Amino acid sequence: MKPMRFSWKNICLPISCINNTNQKTTTNLSKERLLMLSRQTSVRSKVYLSDFSNSTISLNDFSNSFLIDIHIFTYEELKTITQGFSKYNYLGEGGFGEVYKGFVDDSFKIGLKAQPVAVKALKQEGGQGHREWLAEVVILGQLKHPHLVNLIGYCCEDDHRLLVYEYMERGNLDEHLFQKFGGALPWLTRVKILIGAAKGLAFLHKEEKPVIYRDFKPSNILLSSDFSSKLSDFGLATDGSEGEDSNFTKSVMGTEGYAAPEYISAGQLTTMSDVFSFGVVLLEMLTARKAVEKYRSQRGRNLVEWARPMLKDPNKLERIIDPSLEGRYSVEGIRKAAALAYQCLSHNPKSRPTMTTVVKTLEPILDLKDIQNGPFVYIVPVAGATEVQDIKCKDDVKVVKEETVKEAKVLPQHRGGRKNRRKNKAKKSRSVYSDTTLYKSLGTSLYTPAK
């Protein structure tokens, strides 16, 4: 598949703008067939992105034939609902363009439900263009699923290209996982988000002509108020094939750190490419580390290269788990998720599971309730104390006492001082246990058994 070149300025959606004159016609539907569909408004027929590549028909010519409940807005209407694209309604910016919050109701369009919306405006000077805008309209205009963001409408007017989506209250996963808006995500919330995203990918891959998402990453996973997840930003999505009929392209598109190795090295693009990307995000959920962190040493810069060898070793797995979870997770669940990530990140595409299998593997993890309580440390005070030393271990409780100045052993400063300090620090940090269990063991009056 050769890269397509296009120009969209001053053109209102003629599909010829994404033509490649050097590319052979591969459309499934002829121009006459598309025109026929446009007249048969009572019968819906699936249309693919490839159907547009060699046609001069505009989307508006037959949009009523295949788009599901999509509204066409004017630029002035979108300007009104966002209060002139006010900075107070500004939500963020991506490769496509700026995003603003707005509000719509049936005063704009008959039958339009009153609701907050997110309005995304294509940057004319941006890296993405008409093809990406068109992909979102064609894909989300036909595919509806609980785990795909809902496209409400679009605007195509002069140079303006805008998309109107449902508003997702909690933003995207990247903000919660790495910027930690509202604190660290609990383990079961992470599993719930992953299951929703996996179901979205599985739905795309099950299409008669599979849709390859090609840009699966945390910033493209949007979250509702109850942390239900939905896939967004379909600008790089493309029609795909299964098995031997792989798509080959010289133009590798996506985000560094998430693309499958066979896609990067040979341009081989299949649904298994999305499975690899899912494995990267699953690994990010386990570690709370980004796929690529350039500030780290060469060895730890790429998350997959650094962490994948440890995913199948129970003795090493604990080293890579997000420390902000503080042990509050299902050990069995972590191991199952790690084993799944290991499979998804296989260099051999045929060794990776399908997204349907991924969903079936993740769903039982949500039912595992062997999650430890939050950390609690109790220190027995001793007069004249300066530092602590472990003196007793019973069951899962560690009692520590403060050591007097005379009992303290002073290590020579010139013999591995920094190394020893690290060891001592790590030793102390692991002394965290349930307060209820500790009170029972110590017999403190703060704990009163239930009668």
- The CATH number given to whatever domain includes residue 288 is 1.10.510.10
Please work out, in degrees rounded to the nearest 5, the angle formed at the alpha carbon of residue 291 by the alpha carbons of 289 and 294: 90
Among 122-131, 162-171, 215-224, 313-322, the range scoring the smallest mean pLDDT is 122-131
Report which residue type is found at 110: I
What pLDDT is recorded for position 16?
A: 32
What pLDDT is recorded for position 360?
A: 98
- Highest averaged pLDDT of the listed ranges 23-32, 89-98, 176-185, 342-351: 342-351
Is the residue at 437 inside a domain? Answer: yes
* CA 412/CA 29 separation, integer angstroms: 81
191-201 pLDDT, tens digit per residue, is 999 999 999 99
Give every CB contact of residue 88 below 8 A, 6+ residues apart in sequence. none
Give every CB contact of residue 28 below 8 A, 6+ residues apart in sequence. 48, 50, 51
What pLDDT is recorded for position 158?
A: 83
The answer to whether residues 194 and 341 belong to one domain is yes
Q: What is the arithmetic mean of pLDDT over 6-15?
A: 36
Give every CB contact of residue 21 below 8 A, 6+ residues apart in sequence. none
What pLDDT is recorded for position 5?
A: 35
The answer to whether residues 24 and 158 belong to one domain is yes
**Of 118, 140, 166, which closes a domain?**
166
Look up residue 152 and give its two tokens: 């409400």
Whether residue 270 contacts residue 240, with contact meaning beta carbons closer than 8 Å, is answered with yes
245-277 pLDDT, tens digit per residue, is 456 665 778 888 999 999 999 999 999 999 999
What pLDDT is recorded for position 110?
A: 84
Is the residue at 4 inside a domain? Answer: no
Q: What are phi and psi of 17, to 5 degrees?
A: -70, -15
- Give yes or no for residue 1 having a pLDDT over 60: no
* CA 270/CA 15 separation, integer angstroms: 25
* CA 309/CA 182 separation, integer angstroms: 32
Among 55-64, 89-98, 145-154, 158-167, the range scoring the smallest mean pLDDT is 55-64
- Give yes or no for residue 159 having a pLDDT over 80: yes
The answer to whether residues 237 and 104 belong to one domain is no
What pLDDT is recorded for position 45?
A: 66
What pLDDT is recorded for position 280?
A: 98
Is the residue at 1 inside a domain? Answer: no
Q: What is the arithmetic mean of pLDDT over 107-115?
A: 87
The answer to whether residues 191 and 255 belong to one domain is yes
Percent of the chain with pLDDT over 90: 47
51-88 pLDDT, tens digit per residue, is 666 444 556 554 555 777 889 999 999 999 999 999 99
The answer to whether residues 312 and 250 belong to one domain is yes
What pLDDT is recorded for position 58?
A: 55
The answer to whether residues 333 and 433 belong to one domain is no
Is the residue at 252 inside a domain? Answer: yes
Whether residue 299 contacts residue 279, with contact meaning beta carbons closer than 8 Å, is answered with no
- pTM score, two decimals? 0.73
Is the residue at 113 inside a domain? Answer: yes
What pLDDT is recorded for position 180?
A: 74
The answer to whether residues 158 and 184 belong to one domain is no
Residues involved in catalysis: 215
* CA 320/CA 230 separation, integer angstroms: 27
Whether residue 216 contacts residue 278, with contact meaning beta carbons closer than 8 Å, is answered with yes
Range of the domain at 80: 15-166
- Give yes or no for residue 429 having a pLDDT over 50: no
* CA 198/CA 359 separation, integer angstroms: 6
- Highest averaged pLDDT of the listed ranges 167-181, 242-256, 371-385, 432-446: 167-181
**Of 316, 344, 367, which closes a domain?**
367
> For residue 36, what pLDDT band results from cuts at 50, 70 and 90?
low
The answer to whether residues 178 and 241 belong to one domain is yes
97-104 and 90-93 beta bridge pairing: antiparallel
304-347 pLDDT, tens digit per residue, is 999 999 998 988 999 999 999 999 999 999 999 999 999 999 99
What pLDDT is recorded for position 437?
A: 38
The answer to whether residues 245 and 317 belong to one domain is yes
* CA 227/CA 230 separation, integer angstroms: 9
Give exposure, 240-266, as e/b (b: 16+ Cβ within 10 Å): beeeeebbebeeebbbebbbbbbbeee
* CA 340/CA 333 separation, integer angstroms: 11
The answer to whether residues 153 and 33 belong to one domain is yes
Q: In what order do the strands lie in the sheet with 160-166?
A: 71-72, 151-157, 160-166, 115-122, 97-104, 90-93
What is the Cβ-side half-sphere exposure of residue 204, based on CA atoms within 13 angstroms?
A: 31
375-427 pLDDT, tens digit per residue, is 544 445 555 544 444 434 434 444 444 444 444 444 444 444 554 544 444 44
What pLDDT is recorded for position 297?
A: 75
* CA 199/CA 192 separation, integer angstroms: 11
What pLDDT is recorded for position 249?
A: 63
Q: Does 451 appear as a known binding residue?
A: no
What pLDDT is recorded for position 125?
A: 64
Look up residue 278 and give its two tokens: 């899912």
Q: What are phi and psi of 9, to 5 degrees?
A: -65, 140
The answer to whether residues 223 and 300 belong to one domain is yes
Is the residue at 373 inside a domain? Answer: no
Distances (CA, A) of 17 to 59, 131, 135, 335: 12, 9, 13, 50
**Of 367, 394, 421, which closes a domain?**
367
Is the residue at 128 inside a domain? Answer: yes
The answer to whether residues 362 and 435 belong to one domain is no
**Distance from CA of residue 220 to its chain's centroid?**
5
User: Bridge partners of 100?
Assistant: 90, 119
Domain count for the chain: 3
Is the residue at 212 inside a domain? Answer: yes
* Average confidence score pLDDT of the chain: 76
- The CATH number given to whatever domain includes residue 116 is 3.30.200.20
> For residue 32, what pLDDT band results from cuts at 50, 70 and 90?
low
